Amino acid sequence: MENFTFYSPTYFVFGKDTENEAGKYVKRFGGSKVLIHYGGGSVVRSGLLDRVKKSLDGAGISTVERELKRLSLLERSLQLQLQEVKEVRTLLLPRKRECLKEVLQEMP
Protein backbone atom coordinates (compact mmCIF):
# COMPACT_ATOMS: atom_id res chain seq x y z
CA MET A 1 0.00 0.00 0.00
CA GLU A 2 1.25 3.48 -0.85
CA ASN A 3 1.39 6.19 1.79
CA PHE A 4 -1.21 8.90 1.52
CA THR A 5 -2.93 11.62 3.50
CA PHE A 6 -6.69 11.87 3.66
CA TYR A 7 -8.55 14.81 5.19
CA SER A 8 -12.30 14.44 5.64
CA PRO A 9 -13.90 17.39 7.39
CA THR A 10 -17.18 15.62 8.09
CA TYR A 11 -19.01 15.93 11.37
CA PHE A 12 -21.54 13.19 12.13
CA VAL A 13 -24.32 13.56 14.67
CA PHE A 14 -26.45 10.52 15.53
CA GLY A 15 -29.38 10.07 17.88
CA LYS A 16 -33.05 10.59 18.43
CA ASP A 17 -34.39 13.94 17.20
CA THR A 18 -30.94 15.19 16.13
CA GLU A 19 -32.43 16.38 12.83
CA ASN A 20 -33.89 19.20 14.91
CA GLU A 21 -30.33 20.46 15.48
CA ALA A 22 -29.37 20.74 11.79
CA GLY A 23 -29.49 24.54 11.84
CA LYS A 24 -27.23 24.71 14.88
CA TYR A 25 -24.55 22.62 13.17
CA VAL A 26 -24.72 24.41 9.83
CA LYS A 27 -24.30 27.71 11.67
CA ARG A 28 -21.50 26.28 13.83
CA PHE A 29 -19.44 25.51 10.74
CA GLY A 30 -20.06 28.87 9.09
CA GLY A 31 -22.85 27.91 6.70
CA SER A 32 -25.46 30.42 5.61
CA LYS A 33 -27.28 28.58 2.83
CA VAL A 34 -28.12 24.89 2.40
CA LEU A 35 -28.91 23.01 -0.77
CA ILE A 36 -31.26 20.12 0.07
CA HIS A 37 -31.67 17.29 -2.44
CA TYR A 38 -34.07 14.48 -1.75
CA GLY A 39 -35.95 11.79 -3.61
CA GLY A 40 -39.40 12.43 -2.18
CA GLY A 41 -41.19 9.49 -0.69
CA SER A 42 -40.42 8.68 2.92
CA VAL A 43 -38.43 11.82 3.74
CA VAL A 44 -41.59 13.84 3.04
CA ARG A 45 -44.13 11.34 4.46
CA SER A 46 -42.20 10.90 7.71
CA GLY A 47 -41.94 14.65 8.29
CA LEU A 48 -38.11 14.52 8.37
CA LEU A 49 -37.72 17.11 5.63
CA ASP A 50 -40.06 19.54 7.41
CA ARG A 51 -38.21 19.08 10.72
CA VAL A 52 -34.83 19.74 9.10
CA LYS A 53 -36.13 22.82 7.27
CA LYS A 54 -37.70 24.13 10.48
CA SER A 55 -34.37 23.77 12.29
CA LEU A 56 -32.50 25.53 9.50
CA ASP A 57 -35.06 28.33 9.36
CA GLY A 58 -34.89 28.76 13.14
CA ALA A 59 -31.12 29.24 12.89
CA GLY A 60 -31.48 31.83 10.12
CA ILE A 61 -30.12 29.48 7.44
CA SER A 62 -31.69 29.89 4.01
CA THR A 63 -32.43 26.83 1.89
CA VAL A 64 -32.69 25.84 -1.74
CA GLU A 65 -34.74 22.69 -2.15
CA ARG A 66 -34.82 20.19 -5.03
CA GLU A 67 -36.78 16.96 -5.25
CA LEU A 68 -34.91 14.72 -7.66
CA LYS A 69 -35.25 11.11 -8.61
CA ARG A 70 -32.42 10.62 -11.10
CA LEU A 71 -28.73 11.52 -10.91
CA SER A 72 -28.76 13.30 -14.28
CA LEU A 73 -31.36 15.75 -12.97
CA LEU A 74 -29.35 16.11 -9.80
CA GLU A 75 -26.20 16.97 -11.74
CA ARG A 76 -28.02 19.59 -13.83
CA SER A 77 -29.57 21.12 -10.74
CA LEU A 78 -26.20 21.31 -8.97
CA GLN A 79 -24.65 23.04 -11.98
CA LEU A 80 -27.40 25.66 -11.93
CA GLN A 81 -27.08 26.16 -8.18
CA LEU A 82 -23.31 26.54 -8.36
CA GLN A 83 -23.76 29.32 -10.89
CA GLU A 84 -26.38 31.03 -8.72
CA VAL A 85 -24.86 30.63 -5.25
CA LYS A 86 -21.31 31.61 -4.32
CA GLU A 87 -21.20 29.51 -1.20
CA VAL A 88 -23.25 26.36 -0.82
CA ARG A 89 -23.10 24.29 2.31
CA THR A 90 -24.78 21.03 1.49
CA LEU A 91 -26.97 19.00 3.77
CA LEU A 92 -27.51 15.65 2.15
CA LEU A 93 -30.21 13.36 3.28
CA PRO A 94 -28.76 9.83 3.57
CA ARG A 95 -30.26 8.36 0.40
CA LYS A 96 -28.51 10.79 -1.96
CA ARG A 97 -25.12 10.96 -0.20
CA GLU A 98 -23.39 8.35 -2.37
CA CYS A 99 -24.90 9.67 -5.60
CA LEU A 100 -23.54 13.15 -4.91
CA LYS A 101 -20.07 12.16 -3.78
CA GLU A 102 -18.48 12.46 -7.21
CA VAL A 103 -20.38 15.60 -8.20
CA LEU A 104 -19.48 17.42 -4.98
CA GLN A 105 -15.78 16.70 -5.39
CA GLU A 106 -15.85 18.96 -8.44
CA MET A 107 -17.36 21.90 -6.54
CA PRO A 108 -15.08 24.95 -6.45
The domain ranges of the chain are 29-105
> What is the model's pLDDT at position 56?
96
The whole-angstrom separation of Cα 67 and Cα 38 is 5
**What are the tens digits of pLDDT across the range 14-54?**
999 999 999 999 999 888 998 888 876 788 889 999 999 99
The whole-angstrom separation of Cα 67 and Cα 74 is 9
Provide CB contacts within 8 A for 85, sequence distance 6+.
Answer: 33, 35, 64
The pLDDT of residue 57 is above 90: yes
How far is the CA of 33 from the CAs of 12, 30, 56, in angstroms? 19, 10, 9
Say which DSSP state 49 is in.
H
Q: How confident is the model at residue 107 (pLDDT cuts 50, 70, 90)?
A: low
Class at the top of the CATH hierarchy for domain 29-105: alpha beta
pTM of the model: 0.59
